Amino acid sequence: MDKLYKYAQHFTKLELMRTRLDVFQNESGREGVDFIVKTKAGNYHELYLQPINLETERSVKISKEVLGEPKDNLWVALVLFMKDIEPVLYLIPSTQLAKPDNYIFIDNDQGERFKQFSNWEIKVFTKGIPELSKFALNNILNEL
């Protein structure tokens, strides 16, 4: 497991706990889920962790096979890292990926024959940050 991913795990867990959510490591063995989050109302949500180092990357690709079918309680926890700036956590509903805008959210469907290569892509760039900010942790808490 690489250093950036490990750091993203710790950061995400701490940020979620800071908002008074119960956070559990996924022990089920289901690929595509890193954390289970329980809200005060007793609702459970699955989180797929996806770090991105903006010093070297401008997008992340999430395998459709690994993430599975988008659903209301499945979220992508996107953690942005940049030198000399605090990391930022976005919680993106997996259902958002199924509604690509071809601006930030892109569906790279390779068809039935090459299904294993199909992915969803999230692009991170300066002009897209205001749109992406809708998914900042503080802005999305009420939807959990």
What are the pLDDT digits (tens) for 88-128?
A: 999 999 999 999 999 999 999 887 778 778 999 999 999 99
pLDDT above 60: residue 30:
yes
The confidence band for 29, taking pLDDT boundaries of 50, 70 and 90, is low
Going by the DSSP 8-state scheme, the letter that residue 142 receives in this structure is G
Contact 132, 90 (CB under 8 A): yes
Tally the domains of the chain: 1
Task: Residue 74: give the domain boundaries.
Answer: 3-143
CATH code for the domain in which residue 91 is found? 3.40.1350.10
Verdict on whether the full-model pTM lies above 0.85: yes
31-45 pLDDT per residue, tens: 778 999 999 889 999
Q: Where are the beta strands (DSSP E) in the chain?
A: 22-25, 35-38, 44-53, 59-63, 74-82, 85-93, 105-108, 119-123
